[in-house]
Amino acid sequence: MHLIMRPPEGRRRHISVGPYLLVAPTVAFVLLIFFYPISTIFVQSFLSPTATGGSTVGLANYQFVASDPVFWTSTRNNLFFLLGVPIMTALALVFAVVIFDRPRGWRIYRTVIFTPYILAVPVVGLTFVYLYGFNGIVNTVLRGIGAGGLSQDWLGSPSLVTTSILSVIIYRELGFGVILFLARLSSIDQELYEAAEIDGAGWWARLRFITIPELGTVIGFFVTIELITMLSWVFAYVYSMTGGGPAFASSILELYIWQNAFAYRAIGIASAVAVVLLAGMVVLIIIQTLVRSRGDAVSDG
């Protein structure tokens, strides 16, 4: 026989408000710093100025953006920069695995690779302006060794400028991935590698069946961070190297937003592009998360 204990009638369950009071400042801070600006931008994106000084509500800002060729050029450039994510991931994995084997001078290699990441983006950008300029160091060296035919206007050519900027982004962001992967490699149980060697597994087999699976979570984290970076954190690279030129050929969405918000004072247009960029980032992160979750499910199965 089971006894069921019931609270006395008329006695209410006490709910402690202490935990809610503790988290209330953090919740208020998040609402103030994040949700309030986002909601304001969303509202501003539907407001268009009138000749009388007022505002009208509608889709005029979105219609203007959809018909602006500079917006589409900026979008294509951001999407092009996304190609750097798999390149960075592959290079970071290779460098991390090689350095983890501790060849002679591995500490120096690690420092050289990671140092650009701790430098300010404008510093790296301006350095490569001197390297990639038409009369810069790269072209000077090419002419000096008799390969002047390979010299190009790396930052002044519309067909080369985005590739040149992408190479700088990869150069700086690569160190973050290498250090991240090295940290995870150092925590892998070395008995796995010892058992694989006893079974006759070579370097490639250990990389494929032990290293990469063990790095799966960290690789997913790095890819997510770099996807966000390529969409919303490359402003400093473009602004310090080309300013969006030549002829808007290297313009990106961040620069497009900045120009409309601060240079042209078109707050509504800037807000509309910001909403589009935010929506694109959310969709991309959701897709990446779903793909990663499906991959984890397959691995577990």
pLDDT along the chain (301 residues), means of 10: 52 70 85 86 90 82 95 95 95 94 91 94 95 93 91 94 96 95 90 83 84 89 90 93 94 95 92 93 81 66 56
CA gap 203, 138 in Å, rounded? 36
Q: Tell me how long the chain is.
A: 301
Identity of the residue numbered 59: L
CA gap 155, 133 in Å, rounded? 7
pLDDT (0 to 100) of residue 11? 54
pLDDT (0 to 100) of residue 141? 94
pLDDT (0 to 100) of residue 1? 46
Query: Which helix (H) or strand (E) element contains residue 55?
Result: strand 55-57
Q: What's the N-to-C CA distance of the chain in angstroms?
A: 43
Scan for tokens 């450039």, then name that residue.
77
Residues 6+ apart with CB under 8 A from 175: 113, 114, 115, 116, 117, 118
Range 74-300: architecture per CATH = Orthogonal Bundle (1.10)
CA gap 219, 209 in Å, rounded? 15
* Cβ proximity of 164 and 105 under 8 Å: no
CA gap 209, 200 in Å, rounded? 13
CA gap 275, 43 in Å, rounded? 10
Scan for tokens 């290297």, then name that residue.
250
Residue ranges of the domains in the chain? 74-300
The tokens for 133 are 């300029």
Angle at 208 between CA 81 and CA 198, to 5 degrees: 155
pLDDT (0 to 100) of residue 173? 95
CA gap 250, 125 in Å, rounded? 14
- Phi, psi for residue 57 in degrees, rounded to 5: -100, 130
